[in-house]
Structure 1
Amino acid sequence: MPSNCEAQNSEDIVTCQGLGKTILLSTGGYTYSEGGFNSTSEALQFANLMWELFGPVSNNSSALRPFGTAVIDGFDFDFENLVMNNMPTYANQLRSLYSTDKSKTYYMTAAPQCAYPDTADDSMLDGAVYFDAIFVQFYNNACGLVYFDPSSATQRFFNFNTWDNWAKNVSKNPNVKVYMGIEGNVGAGAGYEGLSIVEPAITYVSQFSSFGGVMMWDASQVWSNTGFLSSVYKTLPTSTNSSTTHTLQDAD
């Protein structure tokens, strides 16, 4: 990475954190195709490397840090359409490394597809890994927001209730928060819905105690959709929008 990019990214991260924003490094994505790690030892080694690259600065490390001295607030896993190998080992090693730095709180999140169980992340989501929150992608799937029926008190296809059950009965963290992932504009992919659907959907999911807020894909799409973000924010329950650190999270 060019040094000017490193400096700019580092400055941006620190500035956003100073404004109370949580900065997570999301790994994976739709085009990721490696399928995890070949062995548990490889998973452990890579977790240690990621901590050196993006965790607290260590005088004993010679790793070339992409964000300079900036320290992120945790890691997000956005793996899609693959069976991922040795991921619980990787995630749990990162979680154990979090405890070595008492100066701040670190978070671990995932961005599964709404179809349950999630193909790529199930080995972590089945109770093997402690997550603070998940950003469920309610788009590009038959359980997405396009199937939400605002005229019905119960939902046949839109399955936030399934993820609420996961949070309470399967998750290693019984207090994990579930974010409703939506698309921020028509160019984000398949499944964008306007405020006439999003607002009643927020009202519906707010009845579930696991509901943590709204995730949008992605920031550039939301930026070009004038008034969308502010309207969504105003629709959130007061207890949610006062405690949520951010309503935008990259997850394709």
Structure 2
Amino acid sequence: MAATRVGSMALRRLPALLSLVVLLFSACLAAAGAEKGQNTGETVIFWGRNKDEGSLKETCDTGGYTTVIISFLGAFGHGSYKLDLSGHPVSAVGADIKYCQSKGKLVLLAIGGQGGEYSLPSSQAAADLHDYLWNAYLGGGRRGVYRPFGDAVINGIDFFIDQGATEHYDELARRLYVHNKDYRATVGVMLTATTRCGYPDQRLEAALATGLFNRIHVKLFGDGRCTKSSRRESFENWAAAYPDSMVLVGVVASPEADREAYMSPKSLNYDVLRFINKLRNFGGVMVWNRYYDKKTNYTAGL
């Protein structure tokens, strides 16, 4: 009889025990979700800033990135153009671009950058840069214009305008975008912009006002003005200002890149991503850069 009563009591307690287990399991899942896996969009990486980062093909083979931005075309606007890939053999890049695209990755070219020699002093300079980009990297081709990547055609241009005057980038954007009328079903020339944290970014304000940019990468690093307490609010301002563009969070993959701005994947997920990834035009995460990500495996935590 005693054994029967004990067994009966155990059975009565079982539902409560099961409920407790379910609650604990759910709490663990919620805690894990708050720490990782909060990037519900694209993962964009900048490549071309350090020879030790590996080739473009190796970058795409990681499987961790949806878009690779080659950086930088760092001189333009004054009659000469300079592509700086930090010692990577340019002759190998064309085949790697095609390989990445065959794997479903987008490959863009960033113009501008940090420490370059560039500006667009006139409407003619904007027209000249358009002609050069179209014929040297995009779908054009003209006798006398050297194509550094051979017959490989990149998917678009990133405006990474971090210095110099602000004029005429809107004209460049319009000229580049016009080519999309020649493509069906897909965007032939994707336009993206990498902006500073604080809204607005005066260097790109006129260009972004065209409404032609598919993505905006908001750098939460690089200028010392994006404090920990303002990061989320700044991103939300950008997302609200450009509802028709996908807006991505830009972060560094290592404190080596920017110690003050660095956020661990856990911090990024918990403090920022789990809130902003609910926005309608949240686009994902942009990571600076492949060299640092290779060392830290940062994107594996997103």
TM-score range, shorter chain: 0.7 to 0.9
Q: Higher helix share goes to which structure?
A: 2
Instruction: Please give the alpha-carbon distance, in whole angstroms, between the structure 2 residues aligned to 1:185 and 1:156.
Output: 18
SS of equivalent to 1:70: coil
Q: Is 1:219 the counterpart of 2:301 in the alignment?
A: no
TM-score, with normalisation over the residues of structure 2? Answer: 0.65
Aligned residue identity for 2:251: I
Identical amino acids, percent of aligned pairs: 23
**Cα distance in structure 2, aligned partners of 1:199 and 1:157:** 12
Q: Equivalences for 1:171-250 in 2 at 5 Å?
A: 174=244, 176-189=245-258, 190-200=260-270, 201-226=272-297, 228-232=298-302
Which aligned pairs between 1:40-189 and structure 2 lie closer than 5 A? 40-58=123-141, 60-102=142-184, 105=187, 106-125=189-208, 127-141=209-223, 144=226, 147-148=228-229, 158-168=233-243, 174=244, 176-189=245-258
Aligned partners of 1:79 and 1:116: how far apart in 2? 15
Structure 1 residue 128, shift from structure 2 partner: 2.2
Question: How far apart, CA to CA, are the structure 1 residues paired with 2:175 and 2:231?
Answer: 38
SS at match of 1:214: strand
- SS across alignment from 2:247: strand
CA drift at 1:5? 3.1
Q: Offset of 1:32 from its aligned partner?
A: 2.9
The 3 A distance-change label for structure 1 pair 6 and 157 is closer
Q: Is the 8 A contact 1:27 1:75 kept in 2?
A: yes
Task: Give the superposed CA RMSD.
Answer: 2.3
Given that 1:142 and 1:157 are in contact with CA atoms closer than 8 Å, whether structure 2 keeps it comes out as: no
**Larger strand proportion, structure 1 or 2?**
2
- What's the CA shift for 1:99? 2.8
Does structure 2 retain, via aligned residues, the 8 Å contact 1:112–1:136? yes
CA contact 1:25–1:76 (8 Å) conserved in 2: yes
Q: Which amino acid aligns with 2:300?
A: S
Aligned to 1:20: 104
- Structure 2 residues without counterparts, runs of 5 or longer: 1-82
Local SS of the residue matching 2:286: strand
For 2:292 and 2:261, locate their aligned partners in 1 and report how far apart those are by CA, in whole Å. Answer: 13
The SS at the match of 2:199 is coil
Deviations 1:126-159 (A, max 9, x none): x224100011101134563x514xxxxxx68741
Q: Which residue of 1 aligns with 2:36?
A: none
Aligned partner of residue 27 in structure 1, secondary structure: strand
**Aligned residue pairs: how many?**
213
Q: 1 or 2 for the larger relative contact order (CA 8 Å, sep ≥6)?
A: 2
Q: Distance in 2 between matches of 1:23 and 1:216?
A: 15
Indicate if the aligned counterparts of 1:143 and 1:158 stay in contact, CA closer than 8 A: no
- CA spacing shift, 1:8–1:103, aligned 2, 3 Å: farther
Deviations 1:84-115 (A, max 9, x none): 22111111101112333558533100000011
TM-score normalised over the length of structure 1: 0.77
